[in-house]
Amino acid sequence: MVDPALRPGWPAQLAWGPVELHPPRRRDAEEWSRVRIANEAWLAPWEPTAPGPWAARHTPSTYRAMRRAVLRRASMGMSLPFVLRVEGRLAGQVTIDNVVRGALRSGNLGYWIDRSVAGRGMASLAVAMVCDHAFGPARLHRLQADIRPENAPSRGLVQRLGFRHEGLLRRYLDIDGDWRDHDTFALLAEDVPGTVLARWRSGVPR
């Protein structure tokens, strides 16, 4: 049994307006599979390279295996994995992974959203909520987001929430069949006065 003090802020459920974030649940398997398969063209260019056809990699059994793995990491304080729901419907995921404690207190931000709800500010809202949770109950100091230069919507999302561009990571990750450059962005706990959610709720365009 892992000492709960080693995984502050977990488990957790977050909610604001139409958005709910909760740990991956076993009963989400069928819905997750349907959403992921329907979004192949939307998501595949930004996903890690993997063998086999998309549909075969997004079955309910794949979800259950993924869930076991991410919850194991969460129980050890290495990850904060959330399923995103918009108006009650599964619409994506937001994860703080590769959490490091000690003097660094950092994590890597990743997210995806169903194309049918994109453009409504829901991804920005969900990411803002998770950032506030990471800086608050989870007691992290730095969040890093690594994004392909071609992914303008994702770059815009993190910049609107206050993330700052810190550099280019050359041929950093094996994505969609090749080694891809990534821009790296970071947000520190002290970068946004108040909360990230307050920034989202302000007049900042989203």
User: Is 206 domain-assigned?
Assistant: no
User: Is 1 domain-assigned?
Assistant: no
> Does residue 153 have a cis bond before it (omega within 30 degrees)?
no
Q: What is the mean pLDDT of residues 155-177?
A: 97
User: Is 7 domain-assigned?
Assistant: no
DSSP letters spanning 8-59? TT-S--EEETTEEEE---GGGHHHHHHHHHHTHHHHGGGSBP-SS-TGGGSS
User: Is 60 domain-assigned?
Assistant: yes
Give kind and range of the element (H or E) at residue 67.
helix 60-75
Q: Which of 98, 83, 74 is nearest to 8 (CA)?
A: 74
Q: What is the mean pLDDT of residues 60-87?
A: 98
Q: What is the mean pLDDT of residues 150-156?
A: 97
User: Is 85 domain-assigned?
Assistant: yes
Q: What is the pLDDT of residues 168-206, one digit of tens each?
A: 999 999 999 999 999 999 999 999 889 999 999 985 544
What distances in angstroms separate CA 33 from CA 19, 37, 92, 96, 143, one per listed residue? 20, 6, 11, 21, 28
Our count of domains for the chain comes to 1
User: How far is Cα 153 from Cα 147, in angstroms, rounded to an integer?
Assistant: 10
What distances in angstroms separate CA 163 from CA 101, 121, 127, 201, one per listed residue? 21, 16, 11, 16
User: Is 68 domain-assigned?
Assistant: yes
User: Is 137 domain-assigned?
Assistant: yes
**What CATH number should be reported for the domain holding residue 87?**
3.40.630.30
**Which range is least confidently modeled, 3-7, 79-83, 173-177, 193-197?**
3-7
Expressed as residue numbers, the domain containing 37 is 12-201
